[in-house]
Every structure is written in C-alpha cells, then in structure tokens.
Amino acid sequence: MAKDKAKIVVKDLNLWYGDKHALHNLNIEIQKNKITALIGPSGCGKSTFLRCLNRMNDLISSVRVEGEVVIDGKNIYDKDVDEVSVRKRIGMVFQQPNPFPKSIYENVAYAPLKHGSVKKGSDCDDLVEQSLKSAGIWNEVKDILKEPGTGLSGGQQQRLCIARTIAVKPDVILMDEPTSALDPISTEKIEALMLELKKDYTIVIVTHNMQQAARIADMTAFFHLGDLIEYDETEKIFINPTHKKTEDYITGRFG
Amino acid sequence: MATFESKHRYAHLQEDVIKYLLILAATISILTTFGILFSIVFEAIEFFQLRSFVYFFTGTEWTPGVENSKFGALPIFAGTFMITAIAMAVALPIGLGSAIYMSEYASKNQRTILKPLLEILAGIPTVVYGFFAAITVAPFIVKISAAVGLEASFNSALASGVVMGIMIIPYISSLSDDVITAVPDSLRKGSLALGMTKSETIRDIVIPSALPGIISATLLGISKALGETMIVVMAAGLRPNLSWNLLEDMTTVTVRIVDALTGDQAFNSPATLSAFALGLALFFVTLVLNVVSVRMIKKFKEKYKMSSL
Amino acid sequence: MSKIKKNKKNVFYDPSLKRRHFKSKLFKYFTLSSLIVSLAFLAIFFIDMVVKGSSAVQQTYVQVEVSYNEQSAENYRDAVDKKYLELLSRAVLREIPMQIKKNPSLLGTTKVAWMLADDQVDMYMKEYYYKISNKDLATLTELIENGRVEKKFNTIFFTHGDSKTPEYSGILSAMIGTILTLAVAMFVAFPIGVATAVYLEEFSEQNAWSEFLEVNINNLAAIPSILFGLLGLAIFINLFGFPRSSALVGGLTLALMTLPIIVVSSRAALRSVPATIRQAGYGLGLTKVQVVKDHVLPLAFPGIMTGSIIGLAHAMGETAPLIIVGMIAFIPDSPTSVMEAATVMPAQIFTWAGMPERAYIERTAAGILVLLTVLISLNAMAVYLRKKFEVKW
Ligand SMILES: Nc1ncnc2c1ncn2[C@@H]1O[C@H](COP(=O)(O)OP(=O)(O)OP(=O)(O)O)[C@@H](O)[C@H]1O
Ligand SMILES: [Mg+2]
C-alpha cells in the first residue's frame, strides 16, 4: 500500500465506554478515493470505530479515547483541533435516514449557509442542485424543493441525507449501515451512487451485508470483539482470508 | 336451573345499573361545561338587553356605579392585553430558556431535580403571588422608577404582569421540556455531523421541530394569563385605563368581574350583569386558545408518533 | 525540522468557527441564566415570605393589674389603669365584662396578668413602623424598663378566627372553613371523577360520544377558575338557593374544578393496569363490573389517590371562584356546618392582604406560610404515594 494515498491513519486507537474497553489498539490506514467496508458481528465496535473518525463519540459523556486518528497529517484528537471543523470535513450518513423537518432545499442548503461557504441566492441554488444531482436524486425532487424532506420515501430520504452531507464538501464520508433500513431497489441506487462518489470522496462504510461489501468496497476490515482482525483488499478478504475467524464470519459459520 | 337464571338476570341488571351510573357521572363533566356556558350566556344576554352590545366592545368608558352607567370594555380589554403581554414577555424567554437548558444541557440527574423544583412555581396559590406582587414587587418597582426619575403607581401593570409571568414560567417550561426531549436524537446527530455547533443545532433543528409543542405551551400560558384573577385583583388596580404606560395602574377582565360581583349592587343591575358579559368574552377567548393548543400538541404527537405527552 | 512543522500544520484550523463557538456559549449561558432566574424567583419568594411572616410567631404581651369590679363589669375601660388603655388589645379588654358576667366570683378581685398588647405596641416591639402617641410611648418605655413587656409565642394565631383587631386575629376559622369546603369538594368530585374515568377507560367504546366527553374534560381543565365562580353564583346560589358564603357552595364549585384533574389522573392509573389482569379475570368467568371492581380498581387505587391529593392541593389554593360565591365574609367564629358562612385560608390571606394596618402584613405572610406548608406536605405525600406504589409491569 502506497503511503501517500493514505487519507486516514489510525494509530494505537483505544476506546472505553466507562470501564468497558470497546476498541483495542487499532491500527489501520484508510486510503484516499477508495471505499473501505467495515464488517464484523454485531457489537464488535464497527459503529464505535466509525464515530471515532469524526469525533461523534465526543457526544457520549462516558467515552474515553486514546491513540491517534491522523487525517491529512493532523491528529484530530489533538488539543488544538476543533471537533466541529472535523465534522465539517468528515461527513456522516446514518442508518436511519434523518432528514430535518424542513424543506428539501433547506435540508441541503442549511449547513453550507451556516458555514458561510455559500451566500443565499443563485450560488446556493446551484450548490443545492449540484449536491442533489451528485446524490442522484435531483430528477425526483427538482419540482418539489419546497416540500418537506420528511415526506420522501425512505430511499429518497437517505439520498437526501447524502446530498446534505456532500453539500458541505467534505473529504471523507462515513456511512453507518446506510442501506439496512431500505428496500433492495433503493439499496441498489445508493450503492451505484457510492461507486460514483468515490471519485471525489473517501468513503468508509459499515455494513452487515457481505454481498454489499463484496460489491462495492475496495478495502475491507474485519472487526471482532473490539479487535481489528484483518484488513486487506476486499477480494483477498473474501476469497483468501488469512485468519480463521474472518473466514468463519464471511462464510456464515459464525454465531 | 331457574335460580341460576334469576341470579344471572340479577347480575345482568346490576351490570346495567352500574354502567348507567358511570355514564351519569361522566355526563356531569359535560353538564359543568354547559352549566358554565349557559349560566354565563343567559346573564350576559340579560346584560346586553340593558346595554349596547357594540358599545361594550368599542366603547372606552366604563362607569358602572353612576347614573346612566356606561359599559365600554375597551380599556379593560386593553389592560388585560397589556398585562398578559408583560407576563408572556417574562415567561416565554425564561420558560423556554429553562426548558432548553434542562433538556439539552443538564444531566439526567440534574433534570429530575430541576423540573419538579420549577413546578413548585405552578403549585403556589395565586393569592400568594398577588400578595408578593402587591407587597414586595410593586414597591420595588416604585422605588426603581423613582430612582430613574419615573413615576410608578403602587398598582401597576408592570408589577402584576411580571409576577404573573413568574407564575406562568413552569407552564411554558414543563411542556416545552417534554416536547424538546421528545424530538428524536437522530436529528441532533444529523446536524452535528454536518459540523454544526450545539447551539446552532438546538436553534435551527431542535426548536423548529418542537415548535408545535412550544406554541401549544405558549397558548396555554396566554390562556392562563388572561384568566388569572388574584394577582391582578391585588396588584393591578381597578381603574379602566387605556394607556401604554406600564407603570400606571390598569384593570383587567377578571378584576372587573370580581369587582362587579362583590359589590352591593342588585343582582340584575347592569353593573352586576356586566360581569357575565366580561366572563363570556373570557370564556370564548380561552376556549379557542385551548382548542388550538390541543390541536398543536396533537400535530406534534402525530409527527413523531408519540403516544404519551 | 521545517518538514515536521509543515506536517504538523493544522488542516482543521478554521477561524470562522471562533465566532460560532462564542455564539454557542452565549446561547448556553442564556438558557442557564433563565433557569437560574426562575429558581432565584422561587428562592426570593420563599425568603420574602419567611422574612415577612416569621415575626408573627411571637406576639407582645404587657403585664398589668386587672381589677374586676362594678365599674369594669359595665365598662372595660375601668378594668385597668387608664394610662395603659391604649397599649392593650381592645379585643381582650372587651371580654372582661363578659368574663365577670360568666363568673361573678371574680367581682372585687384584682389580678396581675399578662394582657395581649395592642398591635401598634407589637409593631413597636418588632421594630416595624408604628403609630403611638408620645404619652403612651413614655408609658410603654417605662413598662419595658420594668420588664413588664414581653414577646410570647403567638397561640392566638392558631386558636382564633378573624378579628377586626390584627393582634387578636387568627387563621383557625379559615382552616376549619377550608376543611369543610374541601370535604364537600372531595365528597362530590372523587366518586364522580373516578366513575367518569372508569367509564371512559373500561366501558365506553371509542366513538364520537367518548371523544366528545374527552374533549370536554380537557376544556374544563383549561377554563379560568373565576368562571367556575360565575357558575357557582348563577346555579348553586341563584338557582338552587344554597346559602351564599357557605362551605357547601364553595365546595361544590371547587368540586367541578377538581373533577378534570381527578379524571385525568385516574384514567392514567387505570391505563397502567396491564391487560393481562383483566384477561385473567374474564378467564375466571367474572363479569366486567366484577373485574373492574375487584381487580382493576384496587391496583389503580394508589395512582387514583395520588391524583386526587394533587387535585385537593390545587383546590386548597384556589381563591377567585370562592370570592365570587362570597367566601370572603368576615368570620370570627369557626363554622360548624357546611351551610354556615365560612371563609377559607387563601380567602383569609386575601382579606388580610387588603387591610390597612401594618400588623396584618405579618399575619398574611404567616397565613401564607401555613398554607404553603400544608400544600407542600400534600404534594410530598402524593409523590411518596406514587414512589411507594410505583409498579413496573
Ligand atoms: N453509548 C454506549 N455506551 C456504552 N456502551 C456502548 C455504547 N455504544 C456501544 N456500546 C458498546 O460498545 C460495543 C460496540 O458497539 P458498536 O455499536 O460499535 O457495535 P457495532 O459493531 O456497530 O454493532 P452493530 O453491528 O450491532 O451495529 C458494544 O458492546 C456496545 O454494547
Ligand atoms: Mg453499529
């Protein structure tokens, strides 16, 4: 793996929920403009790890983090790093689509306007259009931009949330099981979208769906009980895993 | 067999009797509402047979005691409105601010202590607030005003309005806290994940989501302020006063109702009956406020599929 | 060296965030300060009442010689030395002729007694504003120097009813009035409220009628209390002819106000009884009434009681509707039945608050403290009941 392509370098990352040691000494390099899938049995710490990458864990008062998450050469857990600016650059899409109870337009425009990256008016209109296009939902909503985002179908809502994230122009998009609440057709659309998006963004996705990981991910990391068991190219993981546990898991011989 | 039958029938009869007794009890609540409505409407009609309906709503002179008494309630409505506005100006920011702190910043433990503590304010009898307004707050306002060269009356709209506002704080904070807490966490996370600060998330996402509930709480507060009696009776004054000066004494609908019914006028004199005309106006306004308030909260519940609130 | 520095360059540095974080902090402090302001109001309020009311715990007495003779049997002014007359409570002096009438053996005796002082003397002793003539003040100073003026625990406040002289007025008759009024209110509201709740929760189907009932009860709870006074006046007094100012009329009026509180809380209590309990009852072949009466109601009872106590506390603090039905009459002697004219604690507070004499202020505040103590105890009891019987199904 070429070092210069690493977007995120995680070094000796440990995390505790109170006394519970949830992540053990993780070391991983996430590569630029690739899709990295995180897989593993329920409760193994995938979501916890993902939240470390944009400091969403800061919201949980019991959490304690040790180690480094270096993004573009800067450890985001350094004292002089503001978690708000981290989240501006590392976007996140959640399992349940969570559009704001505002219009579709406002859902997308809200954050860029607040960040001051665009001004109200045609610049903003352009950004909204472009983001919705990138999220592959423009054609479906271009006539109903004033309607509430909560009125869309689940799959549309999720793509709206992706558009909302893109509009902030992050470098990295984190996705925690973004399709697990959606029907197969919506899932397909979002997978296609991710493949499109990886040209411009680094994507990290948590998924329970092996086929999904196999279909879209370039790299795959297998977690088990807070440990990173194996991290390699997706093909390698699925065809010829090094560890027995990985093999057991992807062949479904796991509890 | 026969005894079984009759026993059965007896049990059946008993069931029916009890059921009808229960229905009868339930009917009483309805009778009360209609009792209030009719008792007020009939006397109000009697009043409007004696005095002009139009003048009641548009006239500016209220002189019940004298010969050729006049009943223009405009100054009374204005006073009611002024004091209610002052009360809401106090209660809304403080109540909403407290609710936001309790639901967004305080820990769970703090919240379980803070909330009942605030609700004590709602449990204090209004006559006690009235005393507080008249004996402590009003003289304080007079002193402060004098210090800055203004003249305040000992019965002032400001004193009664402020104290009424304190009384209403818990009505606003309690319901607002409930609805803010009910806003799903996923919305907060979604906003924070976009790089929003906590206060931006609260102001732009949480509060607008909780807005129907907050409006409902506000309407409830307004309705409480309009119908509040003791504070204004003890601290606002009796003089119908059409003025913008908050430091002057003003009167309200409820004060005039009490005044009309505790005087020694004959019951069917216009002076006494005017209480019912005022009461009717109060009844309708508060009823409308309550109905709208209930609608709003229902809307909020449906929006977030909540069963309890 | 320079390379490391470049690597360490903070790519997350964002100067525009400084303003936003500052605003965020301001917002937090705004919400915190509104909470503090609310709590400060609460604190100021209680401190104010305690400060104003605490002096009522004691009352001033003056030691004088009382002579029971022919003259004082006719005119109380002859019972004590003329120079003390203005320093003593007129209300107590006035009772001397009556005492003699009741107990003629007193005639011809004299007695050195601690007599209740006039309210102005009391105010003087408590260092409030007072109005005493110079001559009387000289007499008083002399008495104080001789140790013949003392502040003693104020039993009068708890053992007497209202009086036109502040030093002789107490809260007792208002307390009795409150008890009578609330007894009437609960006697009416409790059974009707619980029955309504049982009907709505257990018997009625979801239809227009039950919806109408529900909306009605909701609205009833939001009607300003003073309008219940109008109802009481128009219906109970004018239509039914019940005696004005009586605990009966006051109680009935309060009953209608308390009804929605009891209905709502009883419904919540009934709803919290799990369906399995009912099914088990039906499984045993019991009728609906039997199931509700023997199985559901007992389980819901603590919840119903809690709600009723809260309703009771609510009714206890209510003043406006009772004023409308005349319960602000001057009541020196405690009422003995619900048909007699009575007053209640909050109404007594209202009356005293409107009195011109300074001495009534401390009595008002003391009355408030008594009322608040009772209310807080009631609410604490409700909370205790709820905690004690809180069952997690
Ligand atoms: N807020 C929290 N407080 C305490 N423990 C937590 C918290 N969130 C997660 N955990 C614990 O940390 C461990 C990892 O949880 P995490 O949610 O990261 O797992 P996951 O791999 O995402 O599981 P799933 O596939 O079910 O989403 C689990 O044991 C979980 O119980
Ligand atoms: Mg997860």
Residue ranges covered by each domain of chain C: 5-54, 58-162, 172-389
Chains that touch B (3 or more CB pairs under 8 A): A, C
Is the shortest distance between the CB of A60 and ligand 1 below 6 Å?
yes
- Per domain, the residue ranges of chain B are 2-50, 62-304
Give the separation between CA B23 and CA A255, rounded to whole angstroms. Answer: 58
Tokens of A14: 């440990």
Give the separation between CA A81 and CA C229, rounded to whole angstroms. Answer: 64
What is the fold, at CATH topology level, of the domain defined by A3-103+170-250? Rossmann fold (3.40.50)
Strand pairing of A172-176 and A20-31? unpaired
Question: Torsions phi, psi of A230, nearest 5?
Answer: -150, 140
At residue C3, the pLDDT reads 39
CATH architecture of B62-304: Orthogonal Bundle (1.10)
Check: CB of residue A23 under 8 Å from CB of residue A12: no
Of residues B28, B36, B121, nearest to C228 (C-beta): B36
Is the shortest distance between the CB of A207 and ligand 1 below 6 Å?
no
User: Looking at the predicted structure, is the pLDDT value of residue C6 above 90?
Assistant: no
Query: pLDDT (tens digit, 9 = 90+) per residue, A130-169?
Result: 999 988 899 999 999 999 999 999 999 999 999 999 999 9
More confident residue, B304 or A20: A20
What is the mean pLDDT of the segment spanning C103-123? 86
Interface test with A, best of B105, B110, B183, B194 (most A CBs within 10 A): B194
Nearest-ligand number for the alpha carbon of A57: 1
Check: CB of residue C237 under 8 Å from CB of residue C295: no
Distance between Cα A208 and ligand 1 center (Å): 14
Q: H helices of chain B, where?
A: 2-50, 53-58, 74-100, 108-123, 126-132, 138-147, 157-182, 185-192, 198-201, 207-227, 230-235, 253-262, 270-303
Q: Report the atom number in ligand 1 closest to the C-alpha of A48.
A: 18
Q: How confident is the model at residue C41 (pLDDT cuts 50, 70, 90)?
A: very high
Residue ranges in chain B whose pLDDT is less than 70: 1-9, 305-309
Is the shortest distance between the CB of A61 and ligand 1 below 6 Å?
no
Q: Report the atom number in ligand 1 closest to the C-alpha of A62.
A: 3
- Count of C-beta atoms within a 10 Å radius of residue A42: 8
What is the mean pLDDT of the segment spanning C315-344? 90
Of residues C12, C17, C21, nearest to A74 (C-beta): C12
- Count of C-beta atoms within a 10 Å radius of residue C30: 15
End-to-end CA distance of chain C: 67
Partners of residue A73 in chain C, C-beta under 8 Å: 7-9, 11
Q: Report the atom number in ligand 1 closest to the C-alpha of A40.
A: 21
Give the separation between CA A68 and CA A71, rounded to whole angstroms. Answer: 9
Query: pLDDT (tens digit, 9 = 90+) per residue, C361-375?
Result: 999 999 999 999 999
Place of tokens 């007072």: C130
At residue B308, the pLDDT reads 40
Is the shortest distance between the CB of A48 and ligand 1 below 6 Å?
yes
End-to-end CA distance of chain B: 52
Residue type, C42: L
Check: CB of residue C97 under 8 Å from CB of residue C75: yes
Of residues A114, A161, A165, nearest to B196 (C-beta): A114
The nearest CA of chain B is from the CA of A194 a distance in Å of 19
Partners of residue A81 in chain C, C-beta under 8 Å: 10, 12
Kindly determine whether residue A88 and residue C14, on different chains, have CB atoms separated by under 8 Å.
Answer: yes
Q: What is the ipTM of this complex?
A: 0.91
Query: pLDDT (tens digit, 9 = 90+) per residue, C282-318?
Result: 888 888 888 888 889 988 988 899 999 999 999 999 9
Q: 3-state secondary structure string, chain C?
A: CHHHHHHCCCCCCCCHHHHHHHHHHHHHHHHHHHHHHHHHHHHHHHHHHHHHHHHHHEEEEEEEEEECCHHHHHCHHHCCCHHHHHHECHHHHCCHHHHHHHCHHHCCCEEEEEEEECHHHHHHHCCCCCCCCHHHHHHHHHHHHCCCEEEEECCHHHHCCCCCCHHHCCCHHHHHHHHHHHHHHHHHHHHHHHHHHHHHHHHCCCCHHHHHHHHHHHHHHHCCHHHHHHHHHHHHHHHCCCCCCEHHHHHHHHHHHHHHHHHHHHHHHHHCCCHHHHHHHHHCCCCHHHHHHHHHHHHHHHHHHHHHHHHHHHHHCCCHHHHHCCCCCCCCCCCCCCCCECCCHHHHHHHHHCCCCCHHHHHHHHHHHHHHHHHHHHHHHHHHHHHHHCCCC
The nearest CA of chain C is from the CA of A112 a distance in Å of 13
Q: Any CB–CB contact under 8 A between B295 and chain A?
A: no
User: Looking at the predicted structure, is the pLDDT value of residue C354 above 80?
Assistant: yes
More confident residue, A20 or B263: A20
Query: pLDDT (tens digit, 9 = 90+) per residue, B264-299?
Result: 777 778 888 999 999 999 999 999 999 999 888 888
At residue C357, the pLDDT reads 86
Is the shortest distance between the CB of A151 and ligand 1 below 6 Å?
no
The nearest CA of chain B is from the CA of C281 a distance in Å of 16
Q: Report the atom number in ligand 1 closest to the C-alpha of A18.
A: 4
CATH architecture of C172-389: Orthogonal Bundle (1.10)
Give the separation between CA B48 and CA B67, rounded to whole angstroms. Answer: 17
Query: pLDDT (tens digit, 9 = 90+) per residue, A113-141?
Result: 999 989 999 999 999 999 999 888 999 99
More confident residue, C106 or B230: B230
Give the separation between CA C90 and CA C88, rounded to whole angstroms. Answer: 6
Query: pLDDT (tens digit, 9 = 90+) per residue, A208-226?
Result: 999 999 999 999 999 999 9
Kindly determine whether residue C199 and residue B97, on different chains, have CB atoms separated by under 8 Å.
Answer: no
Q: B 204-263 residues with CB below 8 A of C?
A: 220, 223-224, 226-230, 233-234, 254, 257-258, 261-262
Partners of residue B191 in chain A, C-beta under 8 Å: 100, 111
At residue B5, the pLDDT reads 56
Is the shortest distance between the CB of A22 and ligand 1 below 6 Å?
yes
User: Looking at the predicted structure, is the pLDDT value of residue A29 above 70?
Assistant: yes
Kindly determine whether residue C17 and residue A74, on different chains, have CB atoms separated by under 8 Å.
Answer: no
Q: Nearest residue of C to residue B261 by CA position?
A: C324
Percent share of chain A, pLDDT over 90: 78
Look at residues C152, C128, C132, C177 and name the one whose alpha carbon lies nearest to residue C365.
C128
At residue A1, the pLDDT reads 44
